[in-house]
Amino acid sequence: MATTERRWIGKDIPRLEDPKLLAGRATYTDDVKLPGMLHTAVLRSPHPHARIARIDTSRARALPGVFAVATGEDAKEMTNPLPAFCAEPVVQYCLAVDKVRFVGEAVAAVAAVDRYTAEDAVALIDVEYEPLPVITDPFEAMKPGAIKLHDPLPSNLAFEKTLSFGDVAADFAGADRVIRRKLRWHRASAQPLETAGAVCRYDPITQKMDVWSNTNMINYVGWLIANTIKVPAAKLNIYPMYVGGSFGSKHVLGKIIGIASMLAKRSGRPVKFMEDRVDNLIASENLACDRFYDAELAVAKDGVFKSIRVKVVDDYGAYFQFGHGTHGNALAQVTGPYRMGSFEYTVQCVLTNKCQQGVFRGAGSDAGNFCLERLVDAAAQELGIDRVEIRRRNFIAPDRFPFKTPCGNVYDSGNYPAVLDRALEMSGFAELKRMQAEARAQGRYVGIGLATAHQRSVYGPTEFWFWYDSPGLTTAPESVGLSLGPTGEFVVTMFSPFWGNSPETVVAQTVGEEFGIDPSQVTVTYEDSQHALPGAGPGGSRMTVMLTGAVAGAARKLKDKLSRIAAHQFEAAPEDIVFADGGAMVKGSPDKSMSYGDLGLKAYWYKLDLPPGMESGLEARHTYDHPYLTKPSADRKDLGAFYPMMAHGAHVPVVEVEPATGRVRFLRYVAVHDVGTIVNPKSLRGQITGGITQGIGMALYEQSAYDADGQPLTASFMDYLLPTAQEVPRFEIGHVETPSPFTEYGVKGGGEGGRMIAPAAIASAVEDALAPFGVRVDEVPLTPERIVKLVEAARR
């Protein structure tokens, strides 16, 4: 538990973001309207793999109301390939060039007076395709001689590597038993309710491109986007927007910005491109992991885990834009909360004729947790040890932190037994077992699930490249501006977008804490990229840590100046100035105080009252870099600290399964999370309940499915199933707080944990429910038919 008494950090304050969101007055990307703005529709490939023989856009161009049409040939001329996070370039343009490689790939785009007309025009574009053989099975795609998706690459195996840490061979040789499981984690999709989009306005005289977009990483990879759209980086200006959810799917949006920018240049008018829902479902830049695990856990007969070997084949779809980052971050916690001394991780990234992967909340660690926790449950079963007990036996003890894992990543702090205890207590575990026994006697199949798993937070960018030998970027910052105006009002300026997390509230609470004012008095504003400081933006559960750090840093700078002003005023020492109760005062002398209004006015208008040499004004800008990032060793035997803010959680879902129909009903869901110091409890709880709901989606409802011919089967919301309020229970959320020693206030990130842990826990619950049949759960999502088939197979 937190030992520091704080005034605002840790309190439930109403969110600053909410009033305008509730009134329907926030500006999302589709709300942007510029004079003369055109609207875009995109022609997409109906073929999973084909050469583009001929495109005739003449009929589309002739349609009244159409101002510009672009094809891949135009993309080759007007843009550069999209930025990619991997070393081997898998060239991709924003419109397909020469070939289409998945159903839904953008082939042509039209800008017209309205979206209706743009779609009319798209229907008038004639494309002649020469279909090519289709590859959808990653194991087939890997084989030498398989039809290649990309001619320049040696094969569809875009990347393959084994990383090994500690003495894996010895640990396996010395094990009493090796638990082996093959597991399947299907492709899902983030599907925020707001689709991705951009409005681009180009001025050919100044070469300035203004972009309003729900994209992210504006002040991180903005210059790469500029290169993609062939605009000088200093002339690209991106406005951070209110974003209707992202969950990782809106990180770069190079294709969308590429298309809109091309049409803006060509038409001479601002152009808006908003994906529609079908676009987002079949051609999003960010589908999620599609994995085949073959994993082994080496154990001693007393249940102690010695080592783990993970082999994973990941079906990346047709492009490799985000690379194997979803494996990099998973390396942060391959061994989870357990004490193993070694591990080996082999990844094979394969290209197939499907829409590409990107990242979706959890970003690979969700699947990694599923793999590990399935093995742990399996170990418990095979060794005949209680699954709660086996976890306790292997937990890293609370006094062992900071803990260095076999690969070099560090866990900053944690108390896994306390989290588990709290979950067991909240769920009334013993009583649950009794209830389950009674239910079984009545012929009902009730299951109690358990997962104790990690939720790494605040990514370090080394995870994008430590799979390779050559080094890469080592910066992942976040910045804010903080000013105190002549009326005593604080303004925080942010440079990264709002995703539905609570960045404005977090910075306001931090300012409140630092300066002793009510957070509701803080004004938060956003600035465009031409005036911004570096920032990677939300994602990877980093924002709360990074913003509190950035604000604290700016606050220190501002307080330094304020204390010198106040000290000068009262002829005191700057070290004796404290900040509380709406102003600054000399410690111990309440009569010697100045309100923030006084200080502000003084700083802006009374230069001659300031200490000699001091500039007027009161503004501080601060770039907060990753608080604990170290380089990997050259031989990659030590990957350094790249995700050391390690949060953790224990989930206990209780389900009832109907074997005849495969229906799963939640009776209860208990989740205890330890994300270090909590900044805003309600906001965190919302992240957890939302994350678990996405985890329920992954476990039971969501799959971006393709048939064997590469046709998408889930191209509408009638087929890609997001949980509604009737599919999810009331969640019982508990907290433990082990502060991080490396961050401001000891905060860790908690945005992804729900989705990173729930699928493993729910798989555990369904398996437990069907234990009387001897069912093993190795696959998610557990659709009703899959459950019925599992029961039938077990019965045979």
Partner 1 sequence: MPTTIPIGLNVNGIRHELNVEPRWLLVDVIREQIGLTGTHIGCEHGVCGTCTVLVNGETARSCLMLAATADGAEITTVEGLSTGETLHPLQAAFREAQGLQCGFCTPGMLMVAHELLRENRSPSEQEIRESISANLCRCTGYQGIVDAVGLAASSQASAPAAR
Partner 2 sequence: MKPPRFDYLAPRTLDEALAHLHHHGDQAKILAGGQSLIPMLNFRLAHPGVVVDVNRLTDLAYVRQHDGGVAVGALTRQHAVERSELVRARVPVVAEACRFIGHAPIRHRGTFGGNLAHADPASELPAVMVALEAEMAVASRAGSRAIPAGQFFIGPLTTALQPGEMLTEIRIPAAPPRSGGAFVEMARRAGDFALVGVAALVTLDEAGQCARARIALCGVGPTPVRARAAEDALVGQAPTTAVLDEAADRAAAATSPPSDVHGSAEFRRKLARHFARQALAAAIQRSGGR
Site for partner 2, rule CB under 8 A: 115-116, 119-120, 123, 276-278, 660-661, 663, 701, 703, 705, 713-714, 716, 718-719, 721, 723-724, 726-727, 783-785, 788
In terms of C-beta density within 10 A (0-12 exposed, 13-18 middle, 19 or more buried), how is residue 33 classed? exposed
The entry of partner 2, partner 1, none that residue 6 binds, CB within 5 to 8 Å by partner kind: none
The DSSP element (H or E) to which 224 belongs, if any, is helix 222-228
Residue 381 Cα distances to 228, 302, 375, 771, angstroms:
53, 13, 10, 11
Q: Give yes or no for residue 232 binding partner 1 (CB under 8 A).
A: no
656 binds partner 1 (CB under 8 A): no
CA distance 738 to 674: 7
Residue 119 contact, options partner 1, partner 2, none, Cβ 5-8 Å cut-off depending on partner type: partner 2
Select from partner 1, partner 2, none the partner in contact with residue 714, using the beta carbon and a kind-dependent cut-off of 5 to 8 Å: partner 2
Q: What is d(CA 318, CA 90) in angstroms, rounded to the nearest whole number?
A: 9
Q: Out of 1, 22, 430, 608, which residue is the one contacting partner 1 (CB under 8 A)?
A: 22
Q: Which is nearer to partner 2, 205 or 725 (by Cβ)?
A: 725
Neighbours of 34 (CB within 10 A): 15
Contact code string over 174-203 relative to partner 1, x by CB under 8 A: -----------------xxxxx--------
Distance of CA 401 to the CA centre of its chain: 26
- Per-residue x/- mask for partner 1, residues 683 to 712, rule CB under 8 A? x-xxxxxxxxxx------------------
Q: Which of 520, 452, 415 is nearest to 2 (CA)?
A: 415
**Residue 245 binding: pick among partner 2, partner 1, none (C-beta 5-8 Å cut-off by kind):** partner 1
Q: Which does 784 bind (CB under 5 to 8 A by kind): partner 1, partner 2, none?
A: partner 2
63 binds partner 1 (CB under 8 A): no
557 lies in the site for partner 1, by CB under 8 A: no
CA 762/CA 768 separation, integer angstroms:
10
Residue 481 forms beta bridges with which residues? Answer: 493, 621
Report yes or no: 346 and 310 within 8 Å, Cβ to Cβ. yes
**Cβ-based neighbours of 434, under 8 Å, separated by 6 or more:** none
3-state secondary structure of 79: coil
475 interacts with, out of partner 1, partner 2, none, CB within 5 to 8 A per kind: none
Q: Which is nearer to partner 2, 54 or 730 (CB)?
A: 730
Element (H, E) at 453: strand 451-457
Helix/strand/coil for 87: coil
CB of 714 to partner 2, least distance (A): 6
Burial of 133 (0-12, 13-18, 19+ CB in 10 A): exposed
Residue 214 CB, shortest distance to partner 1, in Å, is 10
Residue 534 interacting partner from partner 1, partner 2, none (CB closer than 5 to 8 Å by kind): none
Distance (Å, rounded) from C-alpha 754 to C-alpha 209?
38
Report how far residue 335's alpha carbon sits from residue 769's, in angstroms, rounded to the nearest whole number.
27
* Choices 1-9, 203-211, 699-707, 714-722 (CB under 8 A): range interacting with partner 1: 714-722
Q: Which does 368 bind (CB under 5 to 8 A by kind): partner 1, partner 2, none?
A: none
Rounded distance, CA 454 to CA 193, Å? 27
Q: Cα angle at 407 between 405 and 413, to 5 degrees?
A: 25
Contact 9, 506 (CB under 8 A): no
Nearer Cβ to partner 1 (275/314) = 275
* Paired strand residues for 189: 287
Which partner, partner 1, partner 2, none, binds residue 28 by CB below 5 to 8 Å per kind?
A: partner 1
Nearer of residues 26 and 435 to partner 1, judged by Cβ = 26
Smallest separation (angstroms) from partner 1 to the CB of 13: 11
Q: Work out whether 242 is an interface residue with partner 1 (CB under 8 A).
A: yes
User: Out of partner 1, partner 2, none, which partner does residue 247 contact, by CB within 5 to 8 A per kind?
Assistant: partner 1
> Among partner 1, partner 2, none, what does residue 771 contact (CB within 5–8 Å per kind)?
none
- Least Å from the CB of residue 117 to partner 2: 9
CA distance 697 to 723: 6
**176 or 276, CB closer to partner 1?**
276
List CB contacts of 536: < 8 A, sequence separation 6 or more.
217, 219, 220, 461, 476, 477, 478, 496, 542, 546
Is residue 731 a contact residue for partner 1 (CB under 8 A)? yes
Q: How far is the CB of 116 from partner 2 (least distance, A)?
A: 4
By rule CB under 8 A, what string of x and - marks binding of each residue 468-507 to partner 1? ------------------------------xxxxx-----
Interface residues toward partner 1, by CB under 8 A: 14-15, 17-19, 21-28, 30-31, 114-116, 191-195, 242-245, 247, 274, 276-277, 498-502, 682-683, 685-694, 716-718, 722, 724-726, 728, 730-731, 754
